Amino acid sequence: VQLQASGGGLVQAGGSLRLSCATSGHTSGAHAVGWFRQAPRKDREFVAAIRWSGGVTYYADSVKGRFTISGNNDKNTVYLQMNGLKLEDTAVYYCAESFSLAGRNLYIVPTGYDYWGQGTQVTVSS
């Protein structure tokens, strides 16, 4: 399984970016895709996740109302639309795929995922 994250870049505060993650897809047995981020000298933190079945979504409180996760089953791609970006959103963003059928408690932690992409840098400037 290989995941490919893309779409990062440099954006001014208040701006928008859309990240994409090419996944193996639901037909491979995967149940959910999550986005995490890691800023320098900080732990990797949960951002958002989506279950392929039913499109159930989960968000960290820090991004709720600003970020939207969505999935395209035909393209096996998950998107993270990020609006109203803040300086504190600066980080390397990773997508990950889970082959476990579970709920929020599993999908909001890195250990809930089986495969990870390489990460894409998002830098928000003032």
pLDDT of 11 reads 98
pLDDT in tens, 41-97: 999 999 999 999 888 999 999 999 999 999 998 999 999 999 999 999 999 999 999
Give one DSSP letter per residue of 49-115, joined into a string. Answer: EEETTTT-EEE-TTTTTTEEEEEETTTTEEEEEE-S--GGG-EEEEEEEE-----HHHHTSGGG-SE
Distances (CA, A) of 8 to 11, 30, 80, 109, 126: 9, 24, 11, 22, 17
pLDDT of 9 reads 97
pLDDT above 70: percentage of residues in the chain: 100
pLDDT above 90: percentage of residues in the chain: 86
pLDDT of 85 reads 98
